[in-house]
Amino acid sequence: MRAAIVMLLSLSLLCGLLYPLAATVGAGLLAPERASGSLLSRSGEVVGSEWIGQQFTDPGYLWSRPSATKAPYAPCQPDFSGGSSGSNLGPLHPDLRAAVVARIAALRAADAAVGAPPGKAVPIDLVTASGSGLDPHVSPAAAEFQVERIARARGVEPGQVRAVLAHATSGRQLGLLGEPVVHVLRANLAFDAAFGRRRPR
């Protein structure tokens, strides 16, 4: 019994206190920005995390991938703290089809509201939710789909919007892994810096 109690206390101290403390301190020293949440700031105000997606609905911003949560998680926005979740709907489920149709209609309506020309094929990542619901990126095709809407909403040329998006686009890791992606929050912060900040809608 004595040996069991000593083992319990030793492992509790090692695994429950010393290891977490060492990992926390080590992460703070080796990668302080990531350890603190990879937060992005504007004028000293935290506006989100580099690795957690947010919901954008203003036509002058790049929109994120849909989320299956009731409201996509948005750092620093308590009203949108729905957390992380997938829908678990199979590809033939009627609810998934209905959700996709509704998302396509919303994208078309947003284009029509600013006079953007219709007829473009909607990229799949703009109408299907990810497993986590927290994706901070969209594909270059999804970003290109939104260029005309953003340009018209902000009163600028599409080429100017594409130039901003190019700076928010990352290529494959090591030139081989993954696919090119566009960071939504970074792109939207860059839009505000280049063309002026949008008023909340």
pLDDT in tens, 33-84: 665 666 777 777 777 777 788 888 899 999 998 877 655 444 444 454 556 6
Which residue in this structure is represented by tokens 């890791």?
173
Q: Is the pLDDT of residue 167 over 60?
A: yes
Q: Is the pLDDT of residue 182 over 90?
A: yes
The SS3 assignment for 46 reads: strand
The partner residues of 64 in beta bridges, in order of sequence, read none
Q: How sure is the predictor about 139, in pLDDT bands with cuts at 50, 70 and 90?
A: very high
pLDDT at 91: 83
Estimate the share of the chain in helix, then strand, then coil, as percent rounded to the nearest 5: 45, 10, 45
What are the residue ranges spanned by the domains of the chain?
1-36, 38-195
Is the distance from CB of 150 to CB of 179 less than 8 angstroms? no
CA-to-CA distance for 33 and 12, rounded, in angstroms? 29
| DSSP assignment of 66-111 | P-SSSS---TT-GGG----------TT-HHHHHHHHHHHHHHHHHH
Nearest 5°: phi and psi at 63? -90, 145
Higher pLDDT, 133 or 4: 4
Is the distance from CB of 67 to CB of 134 less than 8 angstroms? yes
Say what the pTM is.
0.77
